Chain A
Amino acid sequence: MAEADWQAVWLTLKLGVASTAILLLVATPLAWWLVRRSGWLAASVQAAVALPLVLPPTVLGFYLLIWLGPTGFIGETLESLGLNHLAFSFEGILVGSIIYSLPFAVQPLVESFRRIDDEQLQVAATLGAGAWRRFWTIVVPYCRGGFLVSATLSFAHTLGEFGVILMLGGSIPGETQVLSVLIYDHAEAMNYDAAHQLSLGLLVFSFAVLVLVYGWQKRSTKSETRLC
């Protein structure tokens, strides 16, 4: 494999790991809030979270390029603070990935949190355990299946991201040229050997990741979180 191909492999993994880590931090409180709230506001938030499931990625890419660029409200704000705008940068495609994979991170956690026994939490509270302690000693162990599925799906979904990054990234080697975009470029330029190599690698890797998760789920007795 050429150096540019390896560069894209590392960049894709870096994007997958970074977006998964941030997604877990964002999705956990969001899922917790969604489980405990009802009404129009919760329904609207849930709909907003699910939007990337139904919108074409090109729509996300189109708007994000405008918003994150130097004339968009986010990019302009950053520039006025002396920072760089986010179009055509790793940080930009990271924002894109987080939005794009948000429903895949939130949904398994919502399912998982729904099954928590509230009584246990109340007992722990009366015994003087604070919110953090209840979270780490009850919620995390009880919902670890949900967390695992949430993380795996976010990671796998980010690996397969294409449309958003194509419009927002600018295919810069080492910065925004992830595997899916590089495979596309190779195929368009008729470098079929390189496209085959990378595609097969991605196929095997994605399949292996999903087999591990399903296998873990089947064996897990505590968590019954399903992928679909």
Chain B
Amino acid sequence: MRGLLCLLMSFPLLASATDLTIAAASNYRLLLDDIVQRFEQAEQVDVSVIYGSSGKLATQIQHGAPYDLYFSANSAYMARLEQAGELTGRVITDGYGQLVLLASANSQEPFVRPLETLMKGKVVAIAQPKHAPFGQAAVSYLKSAGLYEQVSPSLVYAENVAQVMHMVRSGAADYGFVALSLIEQGTDAAQRMKILPLKDKHLLKQQHAVIDGTKNTKLAARFSHFTQQPEITQLKRRYGIEPENAEVKNGARGNGRG
């Protein structure tokens, strides 16, 4: 018994301490993992990232979650935190996310037919619009395309955009509205997607800010600065996040991704 107690007491000493904790919208995963790796090498620090839907993470921050930085997939949640006095320093705009319709591997249909015909009687997954920006963007797209009434009966709702990817990958959903930034180059998923032009691209304004009251303000500010380097801007483009003032071209993205 005493041995067990000693073991439990020493556990915190064994656990590696994280220097910086980031809360980020799920669609940031590939980009941030890459940035974090570069930052850790440059600064010799340990950074951990918690991914979820923007709304969920914003709620957690308002309830005192111990995050140092917050990356959101739309500006509404950032504005809410700013008004609540949860942020310190400037809100940085990383660019604009792009909405993509991804087909599962077992749906043989190429995107040559109109979406209306494609989605008929199919299971279509979207992130929960109540708290996930890519879900809100998907609903907005469907409404502007006049498809919402027809598609809404066959919609299934995921916790966040990463879970939509899982639903489509597992074949449980035929189609899913996901983020371009979650589709890796050279994978077969990249061959089964269609970038959808949004009427209001501000729905997916990707922003980040440092959380007020963090003990790691300096390191958090350095990370924020690091994400604004020219090389990282190129990286964002490669991961499907369009920098500000860039023309979003349907069906193509920087560095030859398609």
Contact = CB atoms under 8 A, between A and B. Distances in A.
Nearest to B159: A166
A166 B172 CA distance: 14
A53 B197 CA distance: 47
Given A87-B170, A189-B55, 17 more contacts: A65-B167, A66-B172, A69-B171, A70-B106, A70-B171, A71-B106, A71-B170, A71-B171, A169-B156, A170-B156, A170-B157, A171-B156, A172-B156, A176-B156, A185-B130, A188-B59, A188-B128
Question: How big is chain B's contact interface, by range?
Answer: 20 to 34
B206 interface: no
Contacts of A177: 157
Interface of A: 65-66, 68-72, 75, 85, 87-88, 166-167, 169-172, 176-177, 185, 187-190
Nearest to A68: B172
Closest 9 CB pairs of A and B: A170-B156, A69-B172, A71-B171, A189-B130, A87-B172, A171-B157, A188-B131, A88-B156, A188-B56
Contacts of A70: 106, 171-172
A88 B131 contact: no
B171 A88 contact: no
B210 interface: no
Contacts of A75: 172
A185 B128 contact: yes
A75 B95 CA distance: 41
Task: Pick the most buried of B55, B157, B167: most chain A CB atoms within 10 A of its CB.
Answer: B157
B155 interface: yes
A218 to B, nearest CB: 35
B158 interface: yes
A171 B128 contact: yes
15 contacts: A66-B172, A68-B172, A69-B172, A71-B106, A75-B172, A87-B170, A88-B156, A166-B159, A170-B125, A170-B157, A170-B158, A170-B167, A172-B156, A177-B157, A185-B130
Contacts of B170: 65-66, 69, 71-72, 87
A76 to B, nearest CB: 9
Nearest to B58: A190
Interface string B168-183: 0011110000000000
B130 to A, nearest CB: 4
A87 B176 CA distance: 14
A177 B157 CA distance: 9
B61 interface: no
